[in-house]
Amino acid sequence: MKRLTSKVIVITGGGGVLCGAIAEGLAREGAQVALLNRTFEKAEAVANRIRAQGGQALPIACDVLSKAHCEEARKKVIDAFGPCDILINGAGGNDPRGSTARETWEAGDLEKDGSAAAGSFFSLDPEGIEAVYKLNFMGTFIPTQVFARDMIGRAGCSIINISSMGAFAPMTKGLAYCAAKAAINNLTQWLAVHFAPAGIRVNAIAPGFFSTEQNKHLLWNPDGSPTTRTGKIITHTPMGRLGKPEDLIGAALWLCDEGASGFVTGAVIPVDGGFMAYSGV
């Protein structure tokens, strides 16, 4: 028996590598999946893969930082499938302007004249920091505000946010991204408490390290060999590898399935190959 038959699932960032894999996995379980993505062609490519497997999918161009865009997407979802049962907030990402070039402070980060060296903490662009925060935090808040209204008082509804290992222990270089994902953890808990009387569960998945279009330049050298950073990650991952996109499907399915996780809310589930459990010694 397919566990999500008749469920309407909205996935922001649905055209991405990780959320695209989640969407395909949930569609195989009978869900009707709406894929919201800033780039329509990416959402359409995932939708076509789902349809080729006999599933139901609706690609929608949507900027999650625009409430008007999200409201329009909500109308399209209702017209095609009905009201949203499950929202997966997968839209997010980083911006080079919110990251340092070096892992720690180094002599020379401040020049003798007091000016900031390129790539240092002191040269970080406040607008870049803000952009990362807005994409990850506001890009979760706004779709939740729009789609949660359709979940009030309806059985089996839930919200799943996408967090990160960086939310628990910040990664070097990625200042803005890690801080924004820490805010997602806090938001997840706040929403879980707030919406409990309405019967809406709110949880998050915290992926470990996966190779995506956004981070491949950090993980792989131009010749395809792993970078030093990738070596550090794998050394610190007891399972000894990076995650594969399909590794996220089981956790997402469990959190979507009211019969399996109906008493789970406010939780952040690591899918990290043991990364968070390992102290390094």
Q: CA 85 to CA 7: how far, in whole Å?
A: 6
Digit-coded pLDDT (tens) for 259-281: 999 999 999 999 999 999 999 98
Tokens, residue 19: 């959320």
Whether 174 and 238 have beta carbons less than 8 Å apart is answered as no
Whether 205 and 248 have beta carbons less than 8 Å apart is answered as yes
Residue of higher predicted confidence among 227 and 46: 46
Residue 106 has what pLDDT? 94
Coil, strand, or helix at residue 33? strand
Coil, strand, or helix at residue 190? helix
Q: Containing H/E element for 234?
A: helix 228-235
Q: Which of 147, 177, 195, 275 is catalytic?
A: 177
Q: CA 33 to CA 21: how far, in whole Å?
A: 12
Average pLDDT (238-267) is 97
Digit-coded pLDDT (tens) for 176-204: 999 999 999 999 999 999 999 999 999 99
Digit-coded pLDDT (tens) for 84-133: 999 999 999 999 999 999 999 999 999 888 899 999 999 999 999 999 99
Least confident range from 20-29, 37-46, 94-103, 255-264: namely 94-103
Domain boundaries, the chain: 8-97+132-215+244-277
Q: Containing H/E element for 204?
A: strand 201-207
Q: CA 122 to CA 116: how far, in whole Å?
A: 5
Mean pLDDT rounded to a whole number for the chain: 96
Q: CA 172 to CA 179: how far, in whole Å?
A: 12
Fold of the CATH domain 8-97+132-215+244-277: Rossmann fold (3.40.50)
Average pLDDT (34-38) is 98
Catalytic residue list contains 177:
yes
With a pLDDT cut of 70, the percent of the chain lying above it is: 100
